[in-house]
Amino acid sequence: QVQLVESGGGSVQAGGSLRLSCAASGSIFEISSMGWYRQAPGKQRELVAASLNGGSTNYLDSVKGRFTISRDNAEKMVYLQMNSLKPEDTAVYYCNAGIRTPSGWGSHWGQGTQVTVSS
């Protein structure tokens, strides 16, 4: 059993900052990629930022220069520092990780955390 638990969401005004955290726990042998997705009402879930095992990162174009993903492999955690937030960043943010368990590799999701940015 694997759990991903997010924290750090909330409500801020435009221009503000938030830091999301995600902790992985359970029967984990290995973690490959870790990332953050978001889903706004009426829209599809989209990849915001990803951290690959080799250290490379990917970002959604609209968040480049504002968001920074980082991870602590020893603690099995991934973070998303969000600066200069805009109303269009409002969404539920989900943590995702590729994890090898005794059952093999799988893609695992957190429960989501709401981020609301007001103008």
> Residue 50: is its pLDDT beyond 90?
yes
Condensed to tens digits (0 to 9), the pLDDT of residues 18-38 reads 999 999 999 999 999 999 999
**What is the mean predicted confidence (pLDDT) over 64-83?**
97
Report how far residue 22's alpha carbon sits from residue 111's, in angstroms, rounded to the nearest whole number: 10
Report how far residue 34's alpha carbon sits from residue 24's, in angstroms, rounded to the nearest whole number: 10
pLDDT recorded at residue 95: 98
pLDDT recorded at residue 18: 98
Average pLDDT, the chain: 97
Report how far residue 44's alpha carbon sits from residue 67's, in angstroms, rounded to the nearest whole number: 20
**What is the mean predicted confidence (pLDDT) over 7-23?**
98
